[in-house]
Amino acid sequence: MTNIIDRIGTAPIAAAGLVGGYYVARETGIRPLGGVVLAAAGAAAAQGWYAKGGATTAVALGAVYLGGFGASHPLAKKIGAWPSVLGVAAAAAGASYVLVDRR
């Protein structure tokens, strides 16, 4: 039996973590709750990155994921919150697809 990461891939999980984390924080007004969503999805994606790509790939994609989260804040001041979040989610998902999921 395959797990969900094998069925859907890591790219959608990474994107969902960034978008979902922002959405939950924004709608509830509880930023740490958004962080829980971000962390849970990041951990799930990291499990897949490690299993399919090894430690180096997992660390690199983890840096892209967390870097995207960090970069979304100053980027939001220039282009708006949703465009920023969607842009970094697309970048993280794209990197995840290229380095792990398309294999």
**pLDDT, tens digit, for every residue of 50-77?**
999 999 999 999 999 999 999 999 999 9
70-101 residues labelled b (16+ CB within 10 A) or e (exposed): eebeebbeeeeeeebbbbbbebbbebbbebbb
pTM above 0.75, yes or no: yes
**pLDDT, tens digit, for every residue of 31-44?**
999 999 999 999 99
Please say if the pLDDT value at position 46 is more than 90.
yes
Query: What is the residue-averaged pLDDT of the chain?
Result: 95
